[in-house]
Chain A
Amino acid sequence: MGRLCVICDKERAIIKRPKTGQKLCKECFYYVFETEIHNAIIDNKLFKKGDRIAIAASGGKDSTVLAHVMKLLNERYQYGLELFLLSVDEGITGYRDDSLETVKRNQQQYELPLKIISYSELYGWSMDQIVKEVGLKNNCTFCGVFRRQALDRGAVILNVDHIVTGHNADDIAETVLMNILRGDIARLQRCTEICTTGDGCIRRSKPFKYTYEKEIVMYAYFKKLDYFSTECIYSPNSYRGHARTFLKDLESVRPSAIIDIIHSGEAFEIKKEVKLPTQGVCKRCGYMSSNELCKACVLLEGLNRGLPK
């Protein structure tokens, strides 16, 4: 009892840091947590002075902490960024409507302008309606594909240069594993990039790329940040579920495994003779796409024809 923090050697250690196993006091934890994110931003030159940045906010833990940390670092290191909150309303009763309330509270706490963009206004379909139509089998495909575009369209409306999302190290490590398991070589190479830019599209980046999910929860817990923590009522993808469980097991065997996977992912190089899909633009909506029509347009066409696939 009464062990001192290994960094400052003054305060009592109250946490064991998930990433390193170090026993730290609260203040030192905040410091390393925030500094690692700052390092990721600076080393990768994510922003430049005067950039208008939309924070993709779902009301969940990642985006709530992201909004908090972005505002804090922007002031502490004078990035000179103009920050906005951008939320997507998928139209899921009992899930998104509640979490959007959290986003609205965040908006007031952090004093950031908020824009909510909904599936029904963009596509004419809410997720509730889509599930009614296609059932619970591949509804997550619809949601995922639509959200990506919805964020970009929201960003255009807000006239921002850049979207930051709350994807954390666990998400990225899991995606690396998933792409190996699925054999998706093109995504395997892309998924560890901290910042992606489509042709003429808005830049997207993940400041939490190296941040552990557990530490995000820890940070929110000690800072008493207000977030919404319910799983989506529509069931998650089972294959990804296996990868997630495996990753959690790996983390418990060796906590650095998450970072180690990302390190591996960054080192992967693909043989030159392997054909990768070329990225073009969708003929219908102009959004980036590797086929003639983008996935969203294909899905939407199916929905409108009443022939979901």
Chain B
Amino acid sequence: MCSIQEETSLDLNVKFKPTTKNCVKCKTAKAIILIRHSTYCKKCFQHVFVGKFRKNVEKSRTASSYGSGEKIMVGFSGGPSSRAMLQLINEYNEAIPHKRVYSEIVVCHIDESLLLNQKSTIPLIEQSVRKYNYPFIGLYLQDIYNSDVTKSGFYNSVIEIEIDAKISQQKDPTESPAEKLSNLLNNISNLTVKEDFIWYLKLCYLIDTARKNGCTRLFLGDCSTRLSIKIISLTSKGRGFSLPLETSGETNWFEDVIITRPMKDMLSKEIGIYNQFAGLDDVYVQNVTSMMHAKASIERLTEDFIVGLEKEFPSTVSTIARTGAKLTPSDSIMKENRCVICLMPYQENNKIWQNRIIVMTIPSSQQSNGCNDIQLNCSKNTTSGGCINGCNDTSNDESMVNAEFADSLCYACRVDIRDIKITNKKIILPPYVAEGVEERKKKINRKQMRKHIEEYLLCSEEEL
């Protein structure tokens, strides 16, 4: 309580001194909270807060074909936003006990403690959600390396990238999942890349777990502050093409698992106040850039920038979030053009785009490959490189595999891979990535087969 009043009065003194001290909604009670330019009393604040949540879930419910009785999964990090979200979902679902909106609610947490060599977060998290009596799934991020975290459920090859940038598909090596993950992340010194990898591994794991548990919807707790940071950081990392999918209130990009973000309209400040009123404790989970300087990574820098700007201009977050909401996934998105690492769509021809505006070689110089500073490059002595940066080379098997791999990545993941400096043996990418590469290869093969016999076919591909 006291900390909230402190925060409020602090804000009042800084810039926007409202003329009225009464709640802007009920106009009678004394206001104790300032959100942007409006003051609220406790009751009205809670009412408005819960209302924003309901509006978002109801919108997604009417749009959903499942109607009532849907089985859902709640992605639960333990942070303030997912903590509030779980409470809100519970209240919403229990409002009319005999007519529940969701038939079953599963809470899923992914433990990342391996990254910082800390104690597992699972026991603490399990305890904090126990009172809801929902089935709880606690996963370890390293288990993304299990052969069953794949579409087929038993894919045991992996992608290996060696120190000389040789990429190969290998039968699953004998190291433990924990060894493989720490080896991968230890080889990534660049924190921007590390954060990207951790996030997409987590997302893929969540989607896979939801799918295998028969959940048709995954709730993620991104609040508007978080989303506005994401909008800027995704833009800065070249992920503009997939940005609408990664920040929207709802997306069916993963087909059988719909992602919903019911907290998208709440500021992190509102969530903090709500949690305090409701007596909800969050679990502090450290991540790889916690307590680091602002320039540690793009994500971290963006967070610093947005939070700072929001202090000076209190409508920053909402303006960014509104701008982001006006963007839409492109019509040119193709379901089969899915990046094998982040599973987000990639644009056709983005490699050509890159090669034209970043010239790395002089065509006349025969032996050069111009990518010496970049680890993932093609072998020397070739006329043009088949490296990850897109010099087009198909002159030997090795660069063939490299080129194939590069072709199955989105622009931003290719930038990420470029920034990995392998210093220790090799890195291993999980089976789901290897499965994606092979699936893509098969699809291309089939396309070629089809082309070969095209004139004898009497039906289109869909009819088969």
B309 at the interface (CB under 8 A from A): yes
A15 at the interface (CB under 8 A from B): no
Which A residues touch B412, using CB under 8 A? 260
Which B residues touch A8, using CB under 8 A? 362, 365, 368
Checking B309, B347, B353, B373 against A6 with a beta-carbon cut-off of 8 angstroms, the contacting residue is: B373
Q: Looking across the interface, which residue of chain A has its beta carbon closest to that of B313? A: A239
Mask: chain B, 178-203; 1 = CB below 8 Å from A; 0 = not:
00000000000010100000000000
Contact status B358-A259, CB under 8 Å: yes
Which A residues touch B237, using CB under 8 A? 257, 260, 264
Return B161 CB to nearest CB of chain A, in Å: 20
Checking B240, B316, B323, B358 against A36 with a beta-carbon cut-off of 8 angstroms, the contacting residue is: B358
The count of residues in chain A whose C-beta lies closer than 8 Å to any C-beta of chain B is 52
Which A residues touch B294, using CB under 8 A? 249
Stretch in contact with the other chain, from A80-88, A134-142, A269-277: A269-277
Which A residues touch B330, using CB under 8 A? 267, 269
| Given the contacts A32-B360, A36-B358, A183 and B323 also touching, CB distance less than 8 Å | yes
Q: Looking across the interface, which residue of chain B has its beta carbon closest to that of A40? A: B357
A268 at the interface (CB under 8 A from B): yes
Mask: chain A, 10-32; 1 = CB below 8 Å from B; 0 = not:
00000000011111000010011
Q: How far is the CA of A9 from the CA of B234 in the complex (A)?
A: 37
A148 at the interface (CB under 8 A from B): no
Contact status B327-A249, CB under 8 Å: no
Q: How far is the CA of A35 from the CA of B370 in the complex (A)?
A: 15
Contact status A261-B235, CB under 8 Å: yes
Contact status B347-A267, CB under 8 Å: yes
Checking B241, B295, B419 against A249 with a beta-carbon cut-off of 8 angstroms, the contacting residue is: B295
Return A283 CB to nearest CB of chain B, in Å: 30
Contact status A264-B323, CB under 8 Å: no
B415 at the interface (CB under 8 A from A): yes
B457 at the interface (CB under 8 A from A): no
Mask: chain B, 240-270; 1 = CB below 8 Å from A; 0 = not:
1101100000000000000000000000000
Checking A177, A182, A249, A261 against B238 with a beta-carbon cut-off of 8 angstroms, the contacting residue is: A261
A122 at the interface (CB under 8 A from B): no
Contact status B298-A250, CB under 8 Å: yes
Mask: chain A, 157-192; 1 = CB below 8 Å from B; 0 = not:
000000000000000000011011111110010000
Contact status B367-A9, CB under 8 Å: yes
Contact status A264-B415, CB under 8 Å: no
Which residues, 27 to 63 on A, are CB-close (under 8 Å) to B? 28, 31-32, 35-36, 39-40, 43
Contact status B411-A263, CB under 8 Å: yes
| Given the contacts A19-B358, A22-B373, A267 and B240 also touching, CB distance less than 8 Å | yes
Counting chain A CB atoms within 10 Å of each CB, the highest count among B327, B359, B370 belongs to B359
Q: How far is the CA of A40 from the CA of B353 in the complex (A)?
A: 10
Return A19 CB to nearest CB of chain B, in Å: 6
B372 at the interface (CB under 8 A from A): yes
Q: How far is the CA of A32 from the CA of B47 in the complex (A)?
A: 60
Contact status A253-B298, CB under 8 Å: yes
The 10 closest A-B pairs by CB, nearest first: A264-B240, A260-B238, A267-B241, A210-B357, A267-B240, A183-B319, A264-B235, A271-B328, A32-B359, A6-B372
Given pairs A7-B370, A36-B359, A181-B309, 11 additional interface contacts (CB within 8 A): A9-B367, A22-B360, A22-B372, A22-B373, A31-B362, A36-B358, A181-B316, A256-B415, A257-B237, A264-B237, A265-B235
Q: Interface on A for B, CB 8 Å cutoff?
A: 6-9, 19-23, 28, 31-32, 35-36, 39-40, 43, 176-177, 179-185, 188, 210, 239, 242, 246, 249-250, 252-254, 256-257, 259-261, 263-272, 274
What are 21 contact pairs spanning A and B, CB under 8 A?
A6-B370, A6-B371, A6-B372, A7-B368, A20-B360, A21-B373, A23-B373, A39-B359, A181-B319, A182-B319, A253-B301, A254-B192, A257-B298, A260-B237, A260-B412, A260-B415, A261-B238, A268-B243, A269-B244, A269-B330, A269-B331
